[in-house]
Each structure stands twice: as structure tokens, then as C-alpha cells.
């Protein structure tokens, strides 16, 4: 008999998978900056270039499209806020100029 047959290693049993409540508690306690929740789609290599072959691929592509659109909407929202502030300040300046012209005309 070889020494290999004599030394039989007994592996511990596998732990039970976590329950749904355990998973939800774990996800709820994670920080927003956790790498699992960060999706950087600026690298187009993550998005398959060929046609999706399964429902899972289609869902993944839809998710990627949603995240990209959401990022574009956030950028547009910031741009609109800036333009609104510019217009508001221009309106205030215009109001002051009109008031000065009215006073000068009297």
C-alpha cells in the first residue's frame, strides 16, 4: 500500500448557502462605493459588439444602455442647471439696466 492511500484527507462539509434575508442584509450594509455597485461603462470593451444570442445577453445590453443613458442624463441635468443660472443672472442684470434706463428717462 502506498502512503497516499493511508492518508485520506477528510474535507469539512460545505456551509449552507445564505438565506435571502442574509443576502439583503449584506447588500443593505454595503457602501455605495463598494466595487460590486460601481459600474464603469466608459470602457466599451465590456459591451459585446455582436448581436446578443440569449435573453441574458439582451438583458445585459439593456442594462448597459440604461446606465449609459442615465450618465448622459446626469450630465445634461448639470448642464441645464448651469445654463439656468446663467439665464437667471442675465435676467437680473437686464432688470437692473431697464430700471436704470427708466430712471434716466424721467
Residue 98, SS3 per DSSP: helix
The tens digit of pLDDT for each residue in 6-50 reads: 677 888 888 899 999 998 888 888 887 777 666 665 655 555 566
Torsion 79-80-85-90 (CA) sign: positive
Residue pair 20/28 in contact (Cβ under 8 Å)? The answer is: no
Q: Where would I find the H helices in 12-54? A: 20-29
The tens digit of pLDDT for each residue in 44-86 reads: 555 556 666 778 888 888 888 898 999 999 999 999 999 999 9
Residue 44: which of 28, 23, 31, 61 has the closest Cα? Answer: 61
Give this prediction's pTM: 0.42
Amino acid at each position: 500500500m502506498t502512503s497516499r492511500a493511508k492518508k485520506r484527507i477528510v474535507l469539512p462539509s460545505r456551509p449552507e448557502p445564505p438565506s435571502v434575508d442574509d443576502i439583503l442584509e449584506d447588500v443593505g450594509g454595503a457602501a455605495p462605493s463598494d466595487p460590486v455597485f460601481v459600474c464603469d461603462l466608459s470602457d466599451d470593451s465590456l459591451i459585446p459588439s455582436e448581436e446578443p444570442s440569449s435573453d441574458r445577453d439582451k438583458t445585459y445590453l439593456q442594462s448597459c444602455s440604461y446606465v449609459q443613458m442615465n450618465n448622459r442624463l446626469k450630465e445634461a441635468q448639470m448642464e441645464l442647471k448651469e445654463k439656468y443660472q446663467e439665464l437667471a443672472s442675465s435676467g437680473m442684470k437686464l432688470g437692473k439696466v431697464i430700471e436704470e434706463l427708466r430712471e434716466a428717462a424721467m
